[in-house]
Amino acid sequence: MKILVAVKRVIDYNVQVRVKEDGTGVVTDNVKMSSNPPDDNAIEEAVKIKEAGKATEIIAITVGEEKSQETVRKALAVGADRGILIKTEGTVEPLAVAKALQKIVDKEKPDLVFFGKQAIDDDCNQTGQMLSALLNWPQATFASKIEIKDKILEVTREIDEGLETIEVNLPAIVTCDLRLNEPRYASLPNIMKAKKKPIEIFTASDLGVDITPRVQQIKVEEPPKRKAGIKVASVAELVSKLKNEAKVI
């Protein structure tokens, strides 16, 4: 079984994101970048499946600028066998990413494609479902548990009401929740080894995919600031404030 894992380079989750003064976006210069957190879970799950002898090859793929290779390298360092970069510039919307990935799926014919359930930069939560639609494959989104039963995958999904279990036939798309597993850290020797693993590079035009954005970003603004609150000295004072000042209880 071959597994394709889609990863994305994003502003590190610990960074306090700031809006640019001219309202054209957020500040990315000299800001720490990392792999999108749930994508780490996606890679981890693929590596676990391979370690269990149920997969033969893991390909890590990303769509983004040249530097996005760092994110692919990280995946290679934790156990992916080879990488693919679809090199782009500027904003690439989830639909365009899904179309580019579709071309790679046609070529590589994986049995499974893993995604993180959502990228923490644009918070779109679309790409996995979109690829699944384009391929007309089953989709198991927000997965917190995966069990492989021959050509069928049993997936527990996190939904608003609690948990849902579905079975999907392979090939299938899975989008991974942060609770799916505990991503490992790459060891130094594996980081060194990863440098020798191949990364194939394509452009969108190599693949014949139009990635022109369809959604124009008109402006980006700071959220409204909350006015500073106060510290209360005791529980009695807190309850009194909630009752008499805020009038919420």
Partner 1 sequence: MSVLLIAEHNNKEVKPFTLNAISAASQMDTDVHVLLIGNNCGDVAKALSEMSAVKKVLHAEAAHYENYLAENFAPLAVKVSENYSHIVSSANTFGKNLMPRIAAHLDISQVSDITKVISPDTFIRPIYAGNAFATVKSTDTKKCITIRPTSFEPCETSGGSAPIEKIEATEEFTFSKFIKREEVKSDRPELGTARIVISGGRGMQNGENFKLIADIADKLNAAIGASRAAVDAGYISNEHQVGQTGKVVVPDLYIAVGISGAIQHLAGMKESKIIVAINKDGEAPIFSVADYGLEADLFEALPQFLEELNKLNSIQK
Residues 111-140 that bind partner 1 (CB under 8 A): 117-118, 120-134, 137-140
Residue choice 1, 26, 148, 207 for contact with partner 1 (CB under 8 A): 26
For residues 139 and 119, give the distance between their C-alpha atoms in angstroms, rounded to a whole number: 17
What interhelical angle do 37-51 and 69-78 show, nearest 10? 30
188 vs 246 by CB, closer to partner 1: 246
Residue 214 DSSP label: S
Give the footprint of partner 1 on residues 27-56 (CB under 8 A). Answer: 38
Q: 95: part of which helix (H) or strand (E)?
A: helix 94-108
Residue 24 to residues 28, 123, 218: CA-CA distances in angstroms?
Answer: 12, 18, 8
Range in contact with partner 1 (rule: CB under 8 A) among 7-15, 41-49, 82-90, 197-205: 7-15
Half-sphere exposure of 43 toward its Cβ, with a 13 Å CA cutoff? Answer: 30
Query: What's the distance, Cα to Cα, between the start and end of the chain in Å?
Result: 57
What are residue 84's DSSP bridge partners? 61, 200
Give the footprint of partner 1 on residues 67-106 (CB under 8 A). Answer: 93-96, 98
Sign of the CA dihedral with 61 first, then 66, 68, and 73 last: positive
Q: Rounded to the nearest whole angstrom, what is the least distance from the CB of residue 195 to partner 1 in the complex? A: 31
Q: Rounded to the nearest whole angstrom, what is the least distance from the CB of residue 81 to partner 1 in the complex? A: 27
Q: Rounded to the nearest whole angstrom, what is the least distance from the CB of residue 182 to partner 1 in the complex? A: 9
144 binds partner 1 (CB under 8 A): yes
Residue 150 DSSP label: T
61 vs 76 by CB, closer to partner 1: 61
- Residues in contact with partner 1, counted by CB under 8 A, come to a total of 83
Q: Count of CB atoms within 10 A of residue 25's CB?
A: 12
160 binds partner 1 (CB under 8 A): yes
150 binds partner 1 (CB under 8 A): no
Give the footprint of partner 1 on residues 188-247 (CB under 8 A). Answer: 213-223, 226, 229-232, 234-236, 238-239, 241-243, 246
Burial of 163 (0-12, 13-18, 19+ CB in 10 A): exposed
51 vs 213 by CB, closer to partner 1: 213
Question: In terms of Cα–Cα distance, which of 88, 146, 92, 86 is closest to 117?
Answer: 146
Q: Rounded to the nearest whole angstrom, what is the least distance from the CB of residue 149 to partner 1 in the complex? A: 12
Range in contact with partner 1 (rule: CB under 8 A) among 62-70, 81-89, 164-172, 196-204: 164-172
Residue choice 3, 6, 11, 113 for contact with partner 1 (CB under 8 A): 11
144 vs 190 by CB, closer to partner 1: 144
